[in-house]
Every structure is written in C-alpha cells, then in structure tokens.
Amino acid sequence: MIILLVLLIGAIAAAINTLPPSATNLGVLKYTADGTISKAMQFAYGAAVGEVVVASLALTFGVLIENLYENNLWIQIVFIILMILVGVYFLRKPAQEQINISSTQSVRFRNGLLLGTLNIPMFIYWTAILSMLSKYLQISDNSPWLVIILFLLGVFLGKLGVLYLYGRLSDYMTSNFSAFKGKLNKIIGIVLLLAATFQSIKLIVDMS
C-alpha cells in the first residue's frame, strides 16, 4: 500500500509541476505544431528524464542548493535575464520559422533533457515537496532503494503523461485552428516574459 502511495505521490507532484506553461511543455507544443506527436514525445521523454534528475538532486542536495540559489542574488538575476531574452526571441521569431523536424531522435531527446534539467525553480519545487512530505512520509536518500525508485518512476510517468496531453492539445489545435500554429511563438514568448515578471516581483518583495 505504501509502495503504491509513493508511486502515486511522485506522479501527482510531477503532473502538478508540469501543468503550468514552461519551457518543456511549450517545447512539446512547438514540436507537435511543426512536426508530429511522435517527434514531440521524443523531446518529452528527455524532459521527463530531466525531471527525474532534478528530483534526484533534490532528494540528495535539496537544502544545500536551495540555500545557494536563495543567498546569491546574481544567480536569480541571471535566471530572470535569460527568461526575458528567450521570451523576446520567441516574440520576434517569424511565425514561418519552424523547429528543425529533420533532427535526429537523439537530438530531440537531448533538447528535452537539457530543458528538463536546467530549471532552478523546478529544483526548488521538488525540495519544497520533499520537505512537506517529510512530515508524513519519509522519502529521502536514506530511504530504501525500492521507495526511491518507485517515487522517481512516478515522477517520470507524471511528467510524461502531462506532456503527452500537451502534445495532443497542440495536435488538435493545429488540425482545427490554423491560426494557432502562427501564434504559437508569440504565446511562448508572452508566457516566458510573464514568468520573468513574476520572478522579478518575487525577488523585489523578498529584498524589501
């Protein structure tokens, strides 16, 4: 019973983390719109593995790395600037410019893995989740291997499941609403700029 609960907790936590627009699920939308759902899922597998890597790091070094991020203002500022630059890039990117769908499966997997791994807020999220869970259920690097493996399997399945739904959503939208494909770059850009704005406001509030 506890084993199934650990698997379910990992899946639900990963699904909740993946639902809001982010680089990974927007990447799935873009790959599906410019290619096919199967190519998008190759990207999604990499992103799901990246989520597992981040959750594993949170299990082992959570508090240490979170403190490093929170106590170094320049790291937070660099992260915000990067989000702004990428957001502006997508806003200015021509609608007809598409992802290179002829890229190999390994390249698509690697792109998903990089976007899934290089995500500091996601690391903080998993650190917070594990901290809250510790009050009711101990999941840490000291837990039995079976517990850790099932938790990370749940993380993988939860992430992949939501990304699959994003891919299906994009597939439906591009099939039924031709204007959606042309506006996707702007949607991605606006979401990234909104995320950067939110992070900036949070940073200012924390400093005041």
Do 192 and 83 form a contact (C-beta atoms < 8 A)?
Answer: yes
The pLDDT score that the predictor gives to residue 46 is: 95
Q: Which of 20, 42, 157 is nearest to 99 (CA)?
A: 42
| Averaged pLDDT score across all residues of the chain | 80
The pLDDT score that the predictor gives to residue 101 is: 47
Dump the DSSP string for 72-131. -HHHHHHHHHHHHHHHHHHHHS-TT----TTS-HHHHHHHHHHHHHS-HHHHHHHHHHHH
Average confidence (pLDDT) over 60-77: 72
Band of residue 178 on the pLDDT scale cut at 50, 70, 90: low
What is the rounded CA–CA span in Å between residue 32 and residue 36?
A: 5
Give 147 or 66, the one with higher predicted confidence. 147
Give 186 or 56, the one with higher predicted confidence. 56
Cβ neighbors of 126 (< 8 A, separation 6 or more) are: 13, 17, 54, 55, 58, 59, 62
Band of residue 205 on the pLDDT scale cut at 50, 70, 90: confident
Give 192 or 163, the one with higher predicted confidence. 163
Average confidence (pLDDT) over 73-98: 74
- Range with the lowest mean pLDDT among 6-20, 81-95, 192-206? 81-95
**% of residues, the chain, pLDDT over 70:** 81
Domain regions of the chain by residue span: 2-72+101-177
Question: The whole model's pTM is what?
Answer: 0.72
pLDDT, tens digit (0-9, with 9 covering 90-100), for 91-128: 786 654 444 544 678 888 998 998 888 776 787 788 88
pLDDT, tens digit (0-9, with 9 covering 90-100), for 124-159: 788 888 877 777 777 766 778 888 899 999 999 999
